[in-house]
Chain A
Amino acid sequence: MTADVVAEWQDRIRAAAAARTPLAIVGGGTKAFYGNPTAGELLDTRACAGIVDYEPTELVLVARAGTPLAEIEQRLADAGQMLAFEPPHFGPGATLGGVVAAGLSGPRRPWGGAVRDLVLGLSVVDGHGTLLRFGGRVMKNVAGFDATRLMVGALGTLGVITEVALKCLPVPRCDATRAFECGADAAIQMTNDWSARGLPLSATCYWRGTLAVRLSGAEPAVVQAMRTLGGTSVDNATSFWASVREQTHDFFADGARTGDALWRLSVGATSPHAGLGGEQLIEWGGALRWLWQPSSIDAATVRQRAAQAHGHATLFRGSDAVRVAHGTFAPLPAPLHAIHERLKATFDPARILNRDRLYAGL
């Protein structure tokens, strides 16, 4: 039945390519806010769903793109395993395909790996309507170009993902969260020191004078690290980290009510707090900063500040008009943009797949 669905998509994509009809690829629609607005006939990936193979001893799960993320996480949890990149759902219907296409990782990312590190292989239908399979089910694979990683974060502009093989990891045997009252720069300094010393950090979050640090691992290692770190205990740590991951934390909820735009700054971890343009929620030991800015602000200024901090700024949430005006993603230097155009032409010469969503014209 699923083979039929994929064959149907192939036919549809071939026809759309011939007619130059844009297609908008949608799973649960939970990340529709992310990326530039795109228009086109709906291609709903949820028809291609289900866990194809999961062998806990193998630490590998293979599922079709339309499978709900919640279903996958439940199945893993039943076997004491997890997706170490803690992908945000951003809504009840999030699908695996959307997780991979968006390429977004959660609080554990600097220590547990990113989406791209834990996707072992995938199948996609490209813009020619050809079903392609990349990678496999093993961690180490150097057979040919790494097309698997190209799909992660491409927002569906290179192909429609049909199936994904993921590396899973055992849930740590022990978790503990400690809190510290401190300034932003002190928080950044401390978390980087601890990380360099090999302490078992698995998440950090700083906001308004409080640093929260999660430790994960074997019990003796976590207990020893707690002694080293000090700090105070945190109530409801599980729901706290879920609120950071799902952006239901007060920082996000309060900002969303103002009509401002949410910026995601990916910067050098030790970049000072000042100079990035306002109050930030700081994750990943300093490498990820969230920042609300008025929609009227000059996007170039935000991006320049991020570039000075050795990184880049993404207009993560904002009205359609703001995203169209500024583009979700920082503009690329001309030679890099040219490479993007050539890759797009290789996968999707008719430019029918999620046109404009990553960059205008792509």
Chain B
Amino acid sequence: MSLSFDPAAVRARPSTETVAALVGTLARDYGERAVTSHAIREQHSHGEGLADPALPDVVVYPQSNEEVAAVVRLCNAARVPVVAFGVGTSLEGHVAALYGGVCVDLSQMNRVLEVNADDLDCRVQAGVTREQLNAELKGTGLFFPIDPGANATLGGMTATRASGTNAVRYGTMRENVLGLTVVTAEGNIVRTGGRARKSSAGYDLTRLYVGNEGTLGIITEVQVRLYGIPESIVAAVCQFPDLGSATRTVITAMQLGIPVARIELLDDVQMDACIRYSKLEGYAARPTLFFEFHGTESATREQADLMQQIASEHGGSAFQWASAAEERSKLWKARHNAYYAALALKPGVQAFATDACVPISRLADCLLETRADVEREGMTAPIVGHVGDGNFHLVLLFDPHDPADRARAEAIAQRVSERAIRMGGTCTGEHGIGVHKLDALVREHGDAVDLMRRIKRALDPHNILNPGKTVPLTRG
């Protein structure tokens, strides 16, 4: 993707001598926890998106806040880039070491530090994964709801302001992080927020670091909200004659304030892929909504009945229910495997996903225009959407051996971003900017990008923290 600025203008690779000296110091201080093998560096050179890999010079595995701070202090003094890494599930090239330097892998900082069951919160080290946290919460009656699909670390989810299928009910990382421990560019360890619901006095630094993509500081501990496991969980599937009737159903439900935990849209192409890939039986390849309701027995029943009524009024089919845990998990597994199901539509293809989010009243327009664009270009691109939030992903399949095919896919993706911005939305609802959406950020935010740039310069004057990401530092 072409960029309208040159990151190298503000950040060059450090000299070989500088890097060699730093690697020597890290090897001395961290022994086997400072790794320079090609295999490990390669593993830390990319996330799960399409990023062209960029290898760090060394990967360090700190075990404490103090060790992270010490590494960052060395990098700051030597002006060497430092990139934080969780498990590498980000999608927009966030972890690629564009200018080499040090990758700080937080996977050995994976302790749940405290669970305050009465206060409904917990504090974890950044390397704790979402599934690990929920496993450790077993027996407390509590759970951490945010579910982006991948088994990401809490640190990574915080740094990218992740959300997922049940954000419509529980919010995103933005609403659920209560406080943080962050290592600043100078290597200071600071604590923001805390256990109190209202964040600490002063500016809301917690929210500034949530979604900073490792460019303003390295998050080492996260305090998050927990929720009681609902007494009753009911899932249902409803199929529609067209995209418009499915989205109108969602709009009506949101307006009535039905507290649905998840509403996921799969278009006909995606439904076809999922039926084949996940062996779903009894469904047609038509636009489909997956619902999940959380609450007491009576509340979920009432919500589901009301939802069925609304769907029927908009031409939806009778609900197919899944109340047993196994049925539900089969359904959501099919949803989470949508990406792999899409890939299986055309053997040998690669794919990447757009991430537009629009005001819900424009969702149908945005989906239909996008669908027409895809058809005009003769591409295959299923749509899945967290439609309760107006957020959808177009999964663009392309032939990796055909540059023209990839160019067509990228052009469609760019038009999706532009369309969303034009409709009052954003180019990215949950995946982030990373390296791929820098241009779109400028289109979306205009003058405010200048301010973001100034914030970056104020908090990381030597541009050592994940350089080349999130905010373009110079404009061409």
Contacts and interface: CB of A to CB of B under 8 A. Distances in A.
Interface of A: 55-60, 103, 109-110, 113-114, 116-117, 126, 130-134, 136-147, 149-150, 152-154, 158, 169-170, 172-173, 189, 192, 195-200, 217-218, 220-221, 224-225, 266-270, 284, 287-288, 310-312, 314, 329-330, 332-333, 335-336, 339-340, 342-343, 345-347, 358-359
Contacts of A116: 204, 207
Given A149-B207, A221-B296, A268-B116, A57 B361 contact: yes
A144 B203 contact: no
Contact of A134 (B171, B256, B445): B445
B429 A224 contact: no
Nearest to A132: B448
Interface of B: 116-120, 141-142, 160-161, 163, 167, 171-172, 174-175, 184, 188-192, 194-205, 207-208, 210-212, 216, 227-228, 230-231, 251, 254-257, 259, 294-296, 298-299, 302-303, 357-361, 386, 389-391, 424-433, 437, 440-441, 444-452, 454-459, 470-471
10 contacts: A116-B207, A139-B357, A142-B429, A142-B433, A143-B433, A153-B203, A200-B299, A269-B197, A287-B196, A335-B190
Nearest to A331: B201
Contacts of A57: 251, 255, 360-361
Q: Which 6 A-B pairs have the closest CB atoms?
A: A170-B257, A149-B207, A329-B201, A311-B196, A140-B429, A266-B198
Given A134-B445, A144-B441, A144-B445, A192 B208 contact: no
Tell which of A56, A58, A138 has the most Cβ of chain B within 10 Å. A138
Given A57-B361, A140-B172, A141-B426, A217 B299 contact: yes
A310 B197 CA distance: 10
B190 A310 contact: no
Given A131-B447, A143-B437, A346-B451, A332 B202 contact: yes
Contacts of B196: 266-268, 287, 310-312
Nearest to B386: A140
A197 B142 CA distance: 9
A311 B198 CA distance: 9
Contacts of B432: 142
A138 to B, nearest CB: 5
A142 B428 contact: yes
Tell which of A56, A143, A312 has the most Cβ of chain B within 10 Å. A143
A150 B172 contact: no
B391 A143 contact: no
A137 B441 CA distance: 16
Nearest to B456: A145
A178 to B, nearest CB: 17
B385 to A, nearest CB: 12
A340 B204 CA distance: 10
A309 to B, nearest CB: 8
Contacts of A335: 184, 188-190
A144 B453 CA distance: 10
Given A147-B451, A218-B299, A330-B201, A55 B361 contact: yes
Nearest to A307: B194
Given A140-B391, A339-B184, A146 B430 contact: no
Given A131-B447, A145-B211, A170-B255, A113 B195 contact: no
A24 to B, nearest CB: 19
Given A140-B163, A143-B440, A149-B207, A284 B197 contact: yes
A316 B299 CA distance: 39
A288 B452 CA distance: 33
A197 B296 CA distance: 9
Contact of B433 (A133, A144, A340): A144
